[in-house]
Structure 1
Amino acid sequence: MTTRYEEFRDLHRSGAPLLLPNAWDHASAAAFAAAGFRAIGTTSLGVAAAAGLPDGAGSTRQETLRLTRGLTRLDALVSVDIEGGFSDDPGEVAALAVELADAGAVGINIEDGRPDGTLRDTAHQSEILHAVHEAVSDRLFVNARTDTYWLTPGDGCAAARTEERFAAYQQAGAGGLFVPGLKDVRVIAELTSGFEAPVNILHAPDGPALPELAEAGVRRVSCGSLPFRAALRGAVAAVESVVRGTALPEGIPSYAETQALSEAFA
């Protein structure tokens, strides 16, 4: 019998690229599940901002665990964004991965960007990934993210640095390789052809469309914080419509429809 982890892993291997919407609370995840998305990620920005905390600062470990325990009640495959692991200690990050697996998550996303805007040492990040792999290799799909295109974009070495880190992270046991901020289809295609692990790209409004990414060999496309930011804009737009006396945006769920999102998984 196929496990939930195996089902999630296999979504990266065949068919269309896995489009992963990213939720920040139970209602947003339930809405994605109700819309037919089988797999759902979390967004560290959304989780942090909803709690009044900064993103990427390692301050939302408890919020992330609490959210995961709630989301896994849904009939969905949940992958959790754990920033840099909320610790620099490989054993502590591995212990967190075990907690998330025990809570019912099927994947995690772990990044090498540090709160000070630098990249974690490649060897150190590889140690963390190896410790996680040893602890949960048959329970969690580990998506290793490198922030080479976000934190070192202008030095002309981002592509080479990405390849170097991808190679190290794949060797350490990462199941997937993620590089947000990369939009060059040629470079993307070179990465997908050069690594066995599936490559994950972050959707960008000014970047390649899904068909182009699929053609380039991308196996997973994340929405990141886009849904959370769009929800904030939608909330403000609704109130502004009330102020102006204009029509509300179309498609706003009713009270009963929204209540049903929670009642279905209580």
Structure 2
Amino acid sequence: MSQQSQAVAFSELHQKYNPVVLYNIWDAGSALAVAQAGAKAIATGSWSCAAAQGYQDGEAMPFSSLLHTVQRIASVISLPLTVDFETGYGAARRDNLSALLQAGVVGINVEDQQLGLSALNGVREQCEILNSLRQEAESQGITLFINARTDVFLQQPDATQHSALMAEVKKRLTAYQNAGASGFFVPGLSDVGLIAELCDVSALPVNIMASSLTPPLAELTAAGISRLSYGPYPYIGLMETLKQQARALY
């Protein structure tokens, strides 16, 4: 299957009421394990990729290391591959995307937070970033799935306050869609009523990140999500198991 065919196939996996489930991986070995378990697509997680190489999340791992990891993953799988691109690794984000596309990537996550700060990019600024990335993908003939992530909910840990944030989130949803986004990612949102409200108004596939606070998959499916991802939790869980096994030995 060509890269463009994979891009189209990956986009088609995003179906309302029938979400694609992405159990996020961090290297070639974990990608193979998840692929062999029956996954329909492979997705990296930035936190996991960084931690597996001894780095903190937030683009502390050099882009060259991320690219090498992605190249190794792409070399051992035949499934569509989407990569957590964080904010794009600085002003060179368009060149960085070009390198990822050349490695075979068909999807990316792009977030609107300002790294290291408790602030988000302005809507116009984030739209300029999304539009630039869309242009780069089009120049290479790839219908890239750009999953536009907003950190509005992550920046408010008190879930009882999330309903008050919906207006801002909906504004960003519309703007990001117009700027070329393919999907809308809202990590931190766990209230099934608010999730359903967002899915009802969104023309883009909505992506929720599973956590201990989110409802079961059946409820999220009924709410209308199109994608469920697991972020750092697979890595965290497996590393805890590893530590427990090591403690039993030592």
Counterpart Cα distance in 1 of 2:114 and 2:196: 27
State percent identity of aligned pairs.
36
Q: Which residue of 2 aligns with 1:56?
A: 58
Deviation, 1:51, is 2.0
Using a 3 Å threshold, how does the CA distance of structure 1 residues 235 and 187 change in structure 2: closer, same or farther?
A: same
| Structure-to-structure mapping, 1:86-165, within 5 angstroms | 86-87=89-90, 89=91, 92-115=92-115, 116-137=117-138, 138-153=142-157, 157-165=164-172
Counterpart Cα distance in 2 of 1:44 and 1:54: 9
Structure 2 contact 17–225 (Cα < 8 Å) conserved: no
Deviation, 1:234, is 1.0
Q: Which residue of 2 aligns with 1:71?
A: 73
Deviations, residues 147-174 of structure 1 (Å, cap 9, x unaligned): 0011145566422211111111111010
Structure 1 contact 152–158 (Cα < 8 Å) conserved: no
Deviation, 1:143, is 0.3
Q: Is it true that 1:239 corresponds to 2:242 in the alignment? A: no
Structure 1 contact 129–169 (Cα < 8 Å) conserved: yes
Q: Which residue of 2 aligns with 1:5?
A: 7
- Between structure 1 and structure 2, the one with the greater Rg is 1
Find the residue that maps to 2:127 and give its secondary structure.
Answer: helix
Deviation, 1:140, is 1.6
Counterpart among 177, 180, 187 of residue 194 in structure 2: 187
Using a 3 Å threshold, how does the CA distance of structure 1 residues 117 and 57 change in structure 2: closer, same or farther?
A: farther
Q: Which residue of 2 aligns with 1:250?
A: none
Counterpart Cα distance in 2 of 1:81 and 1:9: 16
Deviations, residues 113-169 of structure 1 (Å, cap 9, x unaligned): 122121111111110001111221433211000000111455664222111111111
- The number of residues matched between the two structures is 240
Counterpart Cα distance in 2 of 1:15 and 1:190: 14
Using a 3 Å threshold, how does the CA distance of structure 1 residues 71 and 123 change in structure 2: closer, same or farther?
A: same
Find the residue that maps to 1:22 and give its secondary structure.
Answer: coil
Counterpart Cα distance in 2 of 1:85 and 1:235: 32
Deviation, 1:15, is 6.8
Deviations, residues 206-250 of structure 1 (Å, cap 9, x unaligned): 21111111101100000100011011101011112324xxxxxxx
Larger RCO (CA within 8 A; separation ≥ 6): 2
Structure 1 contact 56–114 (Cα < 8 Å) conserved: no
Using a 3 Å threshold, how does the CA distance of structure 1 residues 229 and 53 change in structure 2: closer, same or farther?
A: same
Deviations, residues 35-89 of structure 1 (Å, cap 9, x unaligned): 11121111111111122222114543112111111111212211000111111x3
Q: What TM-score do the two structures reach when normalised by structure 2?
A: 0.90
Query: What's the C-alpha RMSD, in Å, of the aligned pairs?
Result: 1.8
Using a 3 Å threshold, how does the CA distance of structure 1 residues 188 and 107 change in structure 2: closer, same or farther?
A: same
Q: What TM-score do the two structures reach when normalised by structure 1?
A: 0.85
Deviations, residues 185-223 of structure 1 (Å, cap 9, x unaligned): 111111111111100000012211111111011000001
Structure 2 contact 110–147 (Cα < 8 Å) conserved: yes
Find the residue that maps to 1:23 and give its secondary structure.
Answer: coil
Structure 1: any 5+ residue segments left out of the alignment? 244-266
